[in-house]
Amino acid sequence: MRREGSVPEDALRVRVGRIVDSGWFQYTVVAVIVLNAISLGLETYEDEFAALAGRFETAERVFVSIFVVELVLKIYARGPAFFRDAWNWFDLIVVVIALVPTSEGFSVLRLLRTLRILRLVSVIPHMRQVVGALFRSVPGMGTVISLLLIIIYTAAVLGEKLFQEIAPEYFGDLGTTLYTLFMVMTTENWPDVADAVMEEQPMAWVFFVVYMVATAFIALNLVIGVIVTSMEQEVNSQRWAADQELELEQHNELMTQLGGLAEQVERLTEQVRELQAGTNRDRGAERETGD
């Protein structure tokens, strides 16, 4: 039954799994990520810490080494299961990027090191759940988001055609117009945009007011949709379950009681029947006697 040779390996895997799942291991990883985040932050004060540039390089190498060890341990402990979780892929990619040699002083890969701070999310289980919940709330709202995008796109094509020549700095082409309309949607600087257009087309305020009211209204419905969905899932569901359970319990109690009563009455009926049968027999006997 025992597979020779595989047992010690399995035992090692179990032991590594225990390390990887232990609290101190997880806290250490979180602490290293936080230190890495602080180090990345301090690096931005280039002039103040110019003397420490070499130290940052060393720290960077230490952090990456720790992350590599962490992931190797996790992959060893979890086996193929490790690769079934999207969060683990994120961890893996973010760390592998750090291993790619970057000869140039400034590169996209160096920038992507910043994403390692987001490992705080992938490493803390509660954070994973919250982010998972955020993403799960999106598809239900897909139609309203699409609607918002359709409205913005239509308004952009219309706005570009209407105001292109009046205010090319805001409505020069579709890209610029989309950017302008996103700005208007955040209500930032919209009077500047509107004034620039209204100098030549005094009725242009209609476009802006309708656009702002429409997007605000749809965004509001988006928010309300998310609230209602959250409510439906969470509010009172424990109470509701408790209510249902209590009701069922009470109902069963009543039914049992009623069933007992019915049996009691049944036995009583049987007794009375016997009594009657006896009396009848007596009567018969008496009649015989009396005859």
Q: Does 144 bind a copy of itself (CB under 8 A)?
A: yes
Is 10 or 173 the residue whose CB approaches a copy of itself more closely? 173
Least separation in angstroms between CB 276 and a copy of itself: 5
**Is 154 a binder of a copy of itself (CB under 8 A)?**
yes
Instruction: From residue 164, give the alpha-carbon distance in Å to each of 30, 150, 160, 226.
Output: 52, 20, 5, 37
| Binding string, residues 15-54; x marks residues near a copy of itself by CB under 8 A | ----------------------x--xxx-xx--x------
Residues 6+ away with beta carbon under 8 Å from 145: 138, 222
Binding to a copy of itself (CB under 8 A) within 167-196 occurs at 173-174, 177, 179, 182-183, 186-191
Q: Does 286 bind a copy of itself (CB under 8 A)?
A: yes
Shortest Å distance, C-beta 114 to a copy of itself: 5
Rounded to the nearest angstrom, the gap between the alpha carbon of residue 278 and the centroid of all alpha carbons in its chain is 77
Q: Are 181 and 211 in contact (CB under 8 A)?
A: yes
CA distance 15 to 20: 9
The answer to the question of residue 96 lying near a copy of itself (CB under 8 A) is no
Helical spans, DSSP H, in the chain: 6-21, 23-43, 53-78, 86-99, 108-112, 119-123, 125-140, 142-163, 168-171, 174-185, 190-198, 205-234, 237-290
Q: Report the nearest approach of a copy of itself to the CB of residue 64 (Å).
A: 16
Q: Quick one: 21 or 282, whose CB is closer to a copy of itself? A: 282
Among residues 79, 102, 111, 95, the alpha carbon closest in space to that of 32 is found at: 95
User: How many Å apart are CA 145 and CA 278, to the nearest integer?
Assistant: 85
Question: Residue 223 CB, nearest distance to a copy of itself (Å)?
Answer: 6
Residues 225-284 close enough to bind a copy of itself by CB under 8 A? 225-228, 230-232, 234-236, 239-240, 243-244, 246-247, 250-251, 253-255, 257-262, 264-269, 271-276, 278-280, 282-283
